[in-house]
């Protein structure tokens, strides 16, 4: 399956198993979503279970919170992560706090799905990576899958979770992972074989990272699209890098991270979002606090630029194998 197909399959499994699961958002029902993730769900489950919403992100999130408080399990789609900001008050002030402000009388089991990141020439308003906004907000869980199998399993885990989950889907990976070696546009991507995705309700637990490439020289922490870039950089430089796919940013799998960095003594952090106050800063602090006496070199972050998203320079803005490879060499020489 592609990631799109795997996500659709997760919706199918969840909706078939539990009639409390409802799916909606802008163009989600009749059209099946701008990326076609929800295609066919309305026809199969009806307009009361899969339906279109007005172009009003605050309204979409707000109604989901109300539904969740009264026993439903909404899965909502924000058409692009860039569009979520009008809904941030509902997410941060209501969804994230409902359990605590009600002393556990109410919970908010909603999933907020949104395509994230660049790579499709979407420009400033269709390419952002806003994960740090959500990881900063206590009460939210934040997930970023990197492959179809994880996308399905993590989405099923998110739907089953009793609290709000932000589910960020790297749109650059929607139609199959690329090999990571290219810093060039989509025409030059070489696709991996599509991911094998088990049938049924196979859950990938939240809060557990995956080691995608074992190594002994340096630990690379990445998520989403950057997992493949990190693997390519390690292959091109010949450095024996251990690449960890975080999968869930919150809750974070600190045990896997610290075990790897304590083994290698070095750490490079890679993400597509801007550097200043990005999630890489939190990762750097966690590594410093927990692995200080094992570090043999300063931690290095390789990220997007601290600029509004530059449409004309998209493929320079991304951390690519050249920039990541340079960081690997620098940390090994330190």
Query: The tokens 């659709």 sit on which residue?
Result: 8
Q: How many helices (H) and strands (E) does the chain have?
A: 12, 12
Q: In what order do the strands lie in the sheet with 218-222?
A: 210-213, 241-245, 218-222, 267-274, 300-304
Rounded alpha-carbon distances, angstroms, from residue 226 to 104, 165, 183, 231? 37, 21, 12, 8
Backbone angles phi, psi at 133, to 5 degrees: -60, -40
Q: Are 141 and 164 in contact (CB under 8 A)?
A: yes
Catalytic residue among 11, 100, 126, 181: 126
Interacting residues of 199 by C-beta distance below 8 A, sequence separation 6+: none
Residue 167 forms beta bridges with which residues?
A: 113, 143
Whether 181 is catalytic:
no
Helix (H) or strand (E) holding 213: strand 210-213
Degrees to nearest 5, angle at CA 198 with 197 and 201:
120
Interacting residues of 193 by C-beta distance below 8 A, sequence separation 6+: none
Candidates 277, 264, 260, 219; CA nearest to 243 is 219
Catalytic center residues: 126
């Amino acid at each position: 399956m592609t990631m799109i197909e795997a996500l659709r399959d997760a919706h199918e499994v969840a909706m078939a198993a539990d009639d409390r699961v409802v799916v909606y958002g802008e163009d989600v029902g009749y059209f099946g979503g701008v990326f076609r993730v929800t295609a066919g769900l309305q026809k199969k489950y009806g307009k009361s279970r899969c339906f279109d919403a007005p172009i009003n992100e605050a309204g979409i999130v707000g109604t989901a919170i109300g539904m969740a408080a009264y026993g439903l399990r909404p899965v909502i789609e924000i058409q692009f992560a860039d569009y979520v900001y009008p809904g941030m008050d509902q997410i941060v002030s209501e969804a994230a706090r409902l359990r605590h402000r009600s002393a556990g009388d109410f919970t908010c089991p909603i999933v907020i799905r949104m395509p994230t990141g660049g790579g499709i020439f979407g420009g400033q308003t269709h390419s952002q990576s806003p994960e740090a906004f959500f990881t900063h907000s206590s009460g939210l869980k934040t997930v970023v899958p990197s492959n179809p199998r994880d996308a399905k399993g993590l989405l099923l885990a998110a739907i089953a979770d009793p609290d709000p989950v932000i589910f960020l889907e790297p749109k650059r990976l929607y139609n199959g992972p690329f090999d990571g070696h290219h810093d060039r546009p989509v025409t030059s991507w070489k696709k991996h074989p599509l991911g094998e995705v088990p049938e049924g309700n196979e859950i990938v637990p939240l809060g557990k990272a995956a080691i995608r490439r074992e190594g002994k020289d340096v630990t690379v922490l990445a998520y989403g699209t950057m997992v493949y870039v990190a693997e390519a950089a390690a292959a091109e430089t010949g450095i024996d890098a251990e690449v960890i796919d975080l999968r869930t940013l919150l809750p974070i799998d600190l045990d896997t991270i610290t075990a790897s960095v304590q083994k290698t003594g070095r750490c490079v952090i890679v993400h597509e979002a801007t550097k200043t106050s990005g999630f890489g800063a939190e990762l750097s602090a966690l590594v410093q606090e927990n692995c200080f006496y094992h570090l043999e070199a300063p931690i290095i972050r390789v990220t997007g630029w601290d600029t509004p998203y530059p449409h004309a320079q998209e493929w320079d803005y991304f951390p690519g194998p050249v920039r990541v490879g340079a960081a690997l060499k620098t940390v090994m020489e330190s």
